[in-house]
Structure 1
Amino acid sequence: MRPWKGCLYWKTLIRTKPHAIGKYRIHSEGLAWVIIPGKWTFNLACMQIVPWRAFIWSWCLPGLVAAVMLLALPESPKYLLASKGPDAALPVLAKMYEWNHGANNKFPVEKISNTSADMNKSGSGFVGAVKNIAQMFKPPLLRCVIISHVSMFAVFMLSSGLYVWVPDILNNILHGADQISVCQIISDKFANATLSSKDACHAEVSVSVFPISMAMGAVFAITYLSIGVFINKIGRKSLYCGIMFICGIATVAAAFVPHGGAATALIILCLCSGCAASILAAIAVDVFPTSLRAMAMCMMYMVGRSGAAVGSNLLGVTLDTHCHMAFTGFGVFIAGSAFLMFFWPKPEKVRAEMEQQGFSY
C-alpha cells in the first residue's frame, strides 16, 4: 500500500469530482426550488433577509466547509520535493504513512535522494510567484499558455456566462408561444414591456424552470460519466474539440430554431461545454513542470472565470435587443476556439526542452 493512498482518498472526498459537478447542480437547483419561490422576509440586524439572499448564503456554505477541511491537509509531497527539496517532503510522507498504517508503524524511508536540478529554482512567496509567471511566458511554454488560457476563457464564457441567464431565458420560453424562436419571444417581451417604478424590480419566475434546471444537472452528470468512458478511446484533444465544436453549433441553432422545446434542448447542450474544462486541464497539465503546474492551473482557471464574467455581462447587455447576434457571436467564438488545439505542441517535445532547462516532471 502506497503511503500517500490515504491522503489522496481524503482529498478525493473533499474536492469536486468531475461527475459530482452535475449532481451539485441538481442539489443547488433543488435548493433554489425550495427557497426562491418563497414570499417570506425578515430583518436581521440592519439587513433585510429575502429568499434570494438566503439561497446565495446556503450555496456558499459547502465551499466554506470544504475550505476549512482543506486546511487540515498537508502540501503535496511531490510539489515540496520539486520546490523545497527532500527535507521538506519527507515529514509529509511520514505523516501520511502514519495515517495509513497507524502510529506504531515506523516510516521505513529515512532519506530521499533527489537528482533533479529543479529544486529552489523559483524560490517562494511573491518573488517566487513572479518568477514562475515569467517562466511560463517564455518558450516553449508560451504557446501552451496562450492556447490553454484562450480556450478556457471560451469554455467558461459559454458554460458559466450563459448559465447565469438560463433561468431568465427558460422563463421567457415557458411564458411565450411555442412555435416561435426564443429570440423572437425575448424581442416581443422587450418591445411590449412597460417599466414603471412600481414593478421595476419585480419578476414572476415560472416554477417549471426549476425541474428543467435539475434535468440539466442530470445531463451534465451523464456527460461527465461519458467523458470518462470515451476519453481514452477517442483521445483528449479529439474529444475536447468535438465537444466545443458541437456546443458552438448548438449555440447558434438555439437562437433560430422555431420551437421552444427544441431551443431548450439546444441550450442544455450548449451548457455541456463546461464539461470540456476538465478535459482541457488534463491536456494542459502534461506540459507544465511540477514546480510551475499549480500556478499554471490557477492562472488558467482565473482566466476562465474572467470569461464567465465577460460572457454573462455581454449577454446581459445584448440579449434583449440583439439576441441573434449574441448567440451567433458566442457560437462562432466557441466553435472557432476548438481549432486552437491544432496548434498545440507535442507534450514530449515541451517536456524535453524544459528538462534541459533543469525542470522536473
Structure 2
Amino acid sequence: MATVAPDVSRSTERCLTFEDALSMAKFGAFNVVLMAISGAILTAFLLETIGISYVIAVAGCDLQLSTSDKGILSAVGFLGVIVSSHLWGFLADTQGRRKVIVPTLFLTFAITIVSSLMTNFWMLTVCRFMAGFFISGSSATIYAYLGEFHNQQNGSRAIMGASFVFGLGCILLPAIAFAVINQEWELPIVPLGVVYRPWRLFLVVCSVPGLISAFVLLWFPESPKFILMQGDVDQTIKTIQWVHRFNRGRKVEPLAIDSILAETEAQQSKARRAELQNMKGIGALAKLVWNQTAPLFMGSFLKKTAIVCFLQFGTYLTSHGTYMFFPSILDQVFKAQETGEERFSVCELVYDRANTTNTETDTDDECVVQTLDVTLYEMSFILEVIYAAGFAIIGLIINVVGRLSILVFVFGGCGIAGLLIIFVEIPMVSVWCYMILVMCGFAGSIVSAITVDLFPTNLRAMAVCMSSMFGRLGGVIGSNLFGLLLESQCELTFAIPGILLITCGLLSFFIPNIHQRMRSKDSISSRC
C-alpha cells in the first residue's frame, strides 16, 4: 500500500501549469541567494557607471581633463549601455538569460582592468565605453532571469529584494571611495609608462562584485521559464527540481511533476528557434532581430512600451544625471560653509564658483593631489543607507499599497524637491533636497518589475533591455545637460528634472493594470 499513495498523488498532479510547478519548489534559500546575486550585479552596474563621478573629481590633473572631458567621461558608460541594450535583449530572448549574464560580467572585469592602466582621456573613454557595453548585458537581463524563477505572487517582491541588496551594495561606493581615493600613495609601472594612483585601484575594486557574481552563476541553471519556451519540458522539470533540492536539502523527495502544460508562447518560441537555425546571412539576422523587436511597438504592446520607456528615461535622466555632479556640488557647499557663509542657494554657489574659476590662470604645471571633503563622504553614505532602507520598505509594502501609490509618491516627492533646490537658501536643506532628487532612482526598479509583468516571456528580456536603453539614454542626456547648463543656467538645470519627474508621476496612472493589487495564488495559477 505504501507504494500506491505516491502514484495516486503523482497522477493528480501529472499536468501542471508552469506557475503551479514553480510554486511547488517553494520560496527558500535558493531564492534568497539569487536575490543577493542579482543585487550584486545591479551594484556592479552602478559601480561601473556611477563610480566614474568620483574619479573625474580627483583625476583631472593626471589625465588633463577639461570640464567637457569630464562630461564625456560621465556619459560614455551609459552610451555603451545604449548601443548594446538591443543586442543583449535579442540574445537573451533567443539564446538564454544566463548565456548573456555570465560572459558579459567576465568581459566587464577584464576591460576594467585595462581601463585602470590608461594614461590619457581618449584611451580611458574607449575603455569606459566598452565597460558600459558589456555591463549592460548583465544588468538588464538579470531582471528577467530573477523574475522567471518566481511565480507572479513573489515576482515583484523578489525584484525589490534584489533592489534592497543593491541598496546595501550602493553603500560600497562612498565607502570604497573614502578608503581608496583619498590616499596619497603612487606606484610607477615603468614598462607601461603608468603611475598607478589610488583612483586607478578604485576602478578595479568597483568591478569585483560583478566578478564574484559571475563565478557564482556558473553553478546556477538557466531560467526555467526560458527553457520551457524552448519546448524542453524535461529540462524545465529538472531545473525546478534543482531549485527544490536547493531550498529543502538534497535528501528531500523529488516533486511530483510529470509534465508541464505547454503555453502559447512556447509554440511561438519554437517557430522562432526553427527560424534561427535556418538563418543565413546578415540580412536574415537583421530580419530576425526586427521580428523580435517590432512587436514591442505594435498593437497592445505599443502603449506599454512607450510608458515604461518614458518612465525609465525620466528616472535615469534625473538620478544618474544629477548624481554625476553630486560629489562636486556637495564638496563646494561644505567648503563654502567652512569659510563662514551661512545663507546661499546652490545656484548662487555654482555661479560664484564658475566666476572664480574663470578668473584664475594656471601657472603651475605640476599635479597637486586632490581630496574631497570628509562631510561629502558622510552625506553620500547617508544617501546610500536611505536607498537600502527604502528598497527594503518598498519590498515589504509593494503588495499591500500597490505599485501606483509608490510610483506617484517617489516621482512627485522627488520632483518637488528638485524644484525647491532653486529657491532654498539654507545649505543643509538644499543638500537634503538634492539627495531626495537623486532618490528618484527608487522608481527604476519598480518600473522594471512592472515591465517583467507587462510582457510575455518571449518579449520580456527585449522589453526590459529596451526600457533600459531609454533609461541609459536619459542618463547620457542628463549628464551632458548638467555639464552644459549648470554654470550658465543653473535654475533651468534643476527645473527640467523636477518637472519631468512630476510628469512621470502623472503618467504612472496610465500603466495598464496598475490599479490592480497582486492577486491570490489561485487566480494567478488559473490565468495560466
TM-score norm. by structure 2 comes to 0.61
| Structure-1 separation of matches of 2:245 and 2:403 | 37
| Structure-1 separation of matches of 2:444 and 2:305 | 15
2:483 to 316, 319, 328: 316
The 3-state SS of whatever aligns with 2:188 is strand
2:492 to 320, 325, 328: 325
Deviation, structure 1 residue 54: 1.1
Q: Give the 5 Å matches for 1:231-310.
A: 231-310=398-477
1:56 to 199, 203, 206: 203
Distance verdict in 2 for CA 1:329–1:101, change over 3 Å: closer
Letter in 2 for 1:259: I
Distance verdict in 2 for CA 1:114–1:270, change over 3 Å: same
Deviation, structure 1 residue 103: 6.0
Q: Which deviations, in whole Å up to 9, do the C-alpha atoms of 1:154-187 show, x marking residues without a partner?
A: 1111112211110001011112233010110110
Distance verdict in 2 for CA 1:170–1:76, change over 3 Å: same
2:351 to 184, 187, 193: 187
- Percentage of pairs with the same residue: 27
Distance verdict in 2 for CA 1:276–1:103, change over 3 Å: closer
Distance verdict in 2 for CA 1:170–1:70, change over 3 Å: same
Q: Which deviations, in whole Å up to 9, do the C-alpha atoms of 1:287-306 show, x marking residues without a partner?
A: 21122222212222232122
| Structure-1 separation of matches of 2:344 and 2:356 | 16
| Paired position in structure 2 for 1:36 | 181
Q: Which deviations, in whole Å up to 9, do the C-alpha atoms of 1:226-264 show, x marking residues without a partner?
A: 323443343211220221011111112113211111100
Q: Which runs of 5+ in 2 are unaligned?
A: 1-22, 40-161, 277-284, 517-526
2:364 to 198, 204, 220: 198
Q: Is the 8 A contact 1:83 1:118 kept in 2?
A: no
Deviation, structure 1 residue 128: 5.7
| Structure-2 separation of matches of 1:348 and 1:342 | 8
Identify the range of structure 1 (336-345 vs 264-273) with the bigger mean alpha-carbon deviation: 336-345
Letter in 2 for 1:179: R
Letter in 2 for 1:53: R
Q: Is the 8 A contact 2:24 2:255 kept in 1?
A: no
Q: Which deviations, in whole Å up to 9, do the C-alpha atoms of 1:255-282 show, x marking residues without a partner?
A: 3211111100101111110111122223
| Paired position in structure 2 for 1:353 | none
| Structure-2 separation of matches of 1:38 and 1:77 | 47
1:65 paired with 2:212, answer yes
Distance verdict in 2 for CA 1:92–1:21, change over 3 Å: closer
1:165 paired with 2:325, answer yes
Deviation, structure 1 residue 195: 4.2
Q: Is the 8 A contact 1:83 1:291 kept in 2?
A: no
The 3-state SS of whatever aligns with 1:311 is helix
The 3-state SS of whatever aligns with 1:133 is helix
| Paired position in structure 2 for 1:352 | none
Distance verdict in 2 for CA 1:206–1:347, change over 3 Å: closer
| Structure-1 separation of matches of 2:372 and 2:505 | 35
- How many residue pairs are counted as aligned between the two chains? 351
Q: Is the 8 A contact 1:83 1:121 kept in 2?
A: no
Q: Is the 8 A contact 2:182 2:371 kept in 1?
A: no
Q: Is the 8 A contact 2:35 2:165 kept in 1?
A: no
| Structure-2 separation of matches of 1:57 and 1:234 | 41
| Paired position in structure 2 for 1:356 | none
Distance verdict in 2 for CA 1:195–1:218, change over 3 Å: farther
Quote the RMSD (CA, aligned, Å). Answer: 2.7
| Paired position in structure 2 for 1:138 | 298
Letter in 2 for 1:61: V
Identify the range of structure 1 (113-122 vs 49-58) with the bigger mean alpha-carbon deviation: 113-122
| Structure-2 separation of matches of 1:167 and 1:296 | 33
| Structure-2 separation of matches of 1:155 and 1:348 | 21
Distance verdict in 2 for CA 1:140–1:248, change over 3 Å: same
Deviation, structure 1 residue 63: 1.3
Letter in 1 for 2:435: I
Identify the range of structure 1 (54-63 vs 280-289) with the bigger mean alpha-carbon deviation: 280-289
| Structure-1 separation of matches of 2:400 and 2:247 | 35
The 3-state SS of whatever aligns with 2:171 is helix
Distance verdict in 2 for CA 1:197–1:135, change over 3 Å: farther
Distance verdict in 2 for CA 1:92–1:128, change over 3 Å: farther
Identify the range of structure 1 (124-133 vs 258-267) with the bigger mean alpha-carbon deviation: 124-133
Identify the range of structure 1 (236-245 vs 302-311) with the bigger mean alpha-carbon deviation: 302-311
TM-score norm. by structure 1 comes to 0.87
Q: Give the 5 Å matches for 1:87-236.
A: 87-99=234-246, 107=254, 109=256, 111-122=258-269, 123-124=272-273, 130-176=290-336, 177-193=341-357, 194-196=360-362, 198=364, 204-236=371-403
The 3-state SS of whatever aligns with 1:215 is helix
Deviation, structure 1 residue 97: 4.3
The 3-state SS of whatever aligns with 1:140 is helix
| Structure-2 separation of matches of 1:96 and 1:204 | 48
